[in-house]
Structures are given as structure tokens and as C-alpha cells.
Amino acid sequence: MVGKDVPLTTLLSFVDFDTFEFLLEDFLASLGKKSEFESG
């Protein structure tokens, strides 16, 4: 198993859900900030 061949379930088993949720919210927040900047 290397790179892209690693299944999502395997990745999720390494990262607990709380951490994943935090990272997801952080990612969405930075996307939101980017779109605000782009719109002026």
C-alpha cells in the first residue's frame, strides 16, 4: 500500500473522528476566508 492506493478507511483508522472533524472545520474556515478575500 503506497500513496493513492491507501483506502480512506485505513486513513480514518489512524485519525480519530474528533481530530478529523477539527481539521475539516479548519479547512472549511480557510476556504471561507479565501472566498471572502477573492470577492473583495
Residue 25, all three cell numbers: 472545520
Backbone phi, then psi, for 2, in 5-degree steps?
Answer: -140, 145
Please give the single-letter amino acid code of residue 21.
E
pLDDT tens digits along 1-40 = 455 776 777 766 777 778 888 888 999 999 888 777 777 6
C-beta pairs of 29-38 under 8 Å, 24+ apart in sequence: none
Which residue is it, cell 479548519? Answer: 26
Q: What is the pLDDT of residue 10?
A: 74
pTM comes to: 0.45
